[in-house]
Amino acid sequence: ITGCISGYHTIHNQKPIPDLRMTLPLRSTPKSLCLLRLSAVGDISHTLPLVRTLQQHWPETRITWIIGKTEHQLVPDIPNIEFVVFDKSKGWRGYREIRQQLHDRQFDVLLHMQMSLRASLISLLINSPIKLGFDRQRAKDMQWLFTNYKIAHKQQQHVIDSFFGFSEALGIQEHLLAWDIPISEDAYVFVKEQLPGDQHTLIISPCSSMAYRNWNTEGYAALADYATEQHNMHVVLTGGPSSIEQEYGNNITTLCKHKPLNLIGKTNLKQLLAILQRATTVISPDAGTAHLATAVGT
C-alpha cells in the first residue's frame, strides 16, 4: 500500500506533461516497453494484434507484458515477450510480488491498457516517464488519474481498434491483424482423441461473463440437433468450469435428441484453442471463445 501511495504522489507531483492525443514525442525507438493488460481472455486475444504490430515495427524493443495468472496460460510461449504474472487471488501479496519484480526496472513507455482500479494500482509500481492510457472520455474507473498521456478519442470503436490507438500514439499507423498464438502438440493430441476423423464440427460455447448475453438452452439444443440432422455435424459444447456454464451444458445435453460432446470445464486454454482451430463453425455470444475463434481463423 505504501508503495502504491508513493507511486501516486510521484506521478502527480511531477511537472505536468502536455496531454498529447495523437503522437508521443519519442525521439527514437524505445529500448523497453511495458504493456499492462491483465484480463480477460477475449481482451488478451484483442491485445495480440497490437503486440504483433509493435514487434514488426520495433523488433529490437524489449517488451514486458504484465498479465493475469489465468490469461497467461494462453500466451506463455509467445517468443520475445517477457511476462510478469499477477495473481489477483493473493490480494495485496500479489501487488508486493509485482513491486519486487519491477522495483529496479525502468521502461521507456508504459501502455496502460486496462480500465480497472486493480490495473491502475499496478501502474503505480511501474517506473516510466510516459504512462499512456485511454482518453478521458473512455477512461473508466478513473484510469485518467494514473496516466500522463492519452490516446486520441474516437467513438464507437471495436476493442481491437481502440487498442491500436496506443500504437498510433507511438507513431505507428499500420495495423497488423495477426495473432499467431502457439498451440502445443499436447493440445493437438487432445483434440484428435476427442474429435477423431474429419467430420465437420460445430462448437457451441453457450455462455459469456454477462448472463444477459446468453441465449436460452432450448435454442442451443434445437440448433445442435439441426446441425446434426441437416448437416451431419459433430456438435461439441465448450466453456469454463463455472456453475452457470456447467448448468447450461447439462441442460443443453438433456434437451438434445442427438447428444453433443460436452467438454465444458474439461479443457485448458490451449486445448480450447486447438478445438476452435479444428472446428468448422463456432457459435457463441460475445465472449472470449468467439474472439479466440477469430484468432485461429475459424
Regions in the chain scoring below 70 on pLDDT: 1-23, 25
Answer for the pair 253, 260: CB distance below 8 angstroms, yes or no: yes
* Cell numbers for 203: 462448437
Give, for 122, the enclosing helix (H) or strand (E): helix 117-123
Give pLDDT, residue 15: 43
Which position has the grid cell 464507437?
Answer: 156
Cis peptide before 211 (omega within 30 of 0): no
Summary count for the chain: helices (H), strands (E): 11, 10
Full DSSP string of 128-186? -S-EEE--TTT-TTTGGGG-SEEPPP-SS--HHHHHHHHHHHTT-------------HH
Give pLDDT, residue 244: 95
* pLDDT mean across residues, the chain: 92
Give pLDDT, residue 8: 43
State pLDDT tens for residues 198-252. 999 999 999 998 989 999 999 999 999 999 999 999 999 999 999 999 999 999 9
Give, for 11, the enclosing helix (H) or strand (E): helix 2-13
Q: Specify the pairing of strand 201-204 against strand 234-237.
A: parallel
The tally of CA atoms less than 13 A away on the side-chain side of residue 285 is: 16
Give pLDDT, residue 226: 98
Give pLDDT, residue 23: 58
